[in-house]
Amino acid sequence: MKKFSFILLPLLFLVVGCGYKHTQAKLKKPVKVYVKYVKNNTDEPRLEDYFTEALKNQFIKRKDTLLVSDLGKADLLIKGKIKNFKYAGISFLSSDRSLEYRASMIVEISLIDKNGVLLKTKDFYEYKEFKTGISEGKNINIDVGIIENLRPIIYKKLSSIIAEDVFDWMFAGF
């Protein structure tokens, strides 16, 4: 009898399961989304281009959404503004030159339904750290122009992360 229950019990769990079900929200039809060009309230050139593109890409690659170019055909309107973008030194040499920087960005996103009703608004924050110098033994060569060279990469990275967070926030609870 012990052998029988030893075999039967695990089999019973396999058949019945523990009652936990993983369900992913499935919408009946794709949600039509219009992304309004994002405002840039910073001095960073073209940052709004990178962020608007990253936001649109989130909706293009998802199956439950359809990016539309006509606001009149949209179920949802996404408006945003980049409120803050800054670089701050986080690691310094004895000469007070920054060896590492942190770039941070704050974006406010508003979700509006097709009747013009504001559904929700949220600020999204993200940061990334990067080095400005190359260590060669005891000597560290500082590339003063590295921020300029890395600017597009930093814009794209932060924009992509925040855009993904926006998508997840929009459809939480569906």
Q: pLDDT-derived band of residue 133, with 50, 70 and 90 as boundaries?
A: low
Answer whether 127's CB lies under 8 Å from 103's CB. yes
Q: pLDDT-derived band of residue 96, with 50, 70 and 90 as boundaries?
A: low
Q: Report yes or no on 148 lying in a domain.
A: yes
Domain count, the chain: 1
How many Cα atoms sit within 13 Å of 137 on the Cβ side? 1
Between residues 3 and 160, which one has the greater pLDDT?
A: 160
> What value does the mean pLDDT of the chain take?
80
What CATH number is associated with residue 156? 3.40.50.10610
Q: Report yes or no on 69 lying in a domain.
A: yes
Q: What average pLDDT score do residues 92-102 get?
A: 74
Give the domain extent around 137.
28-170
Which residues are paired to 89 by β-bridges?
101
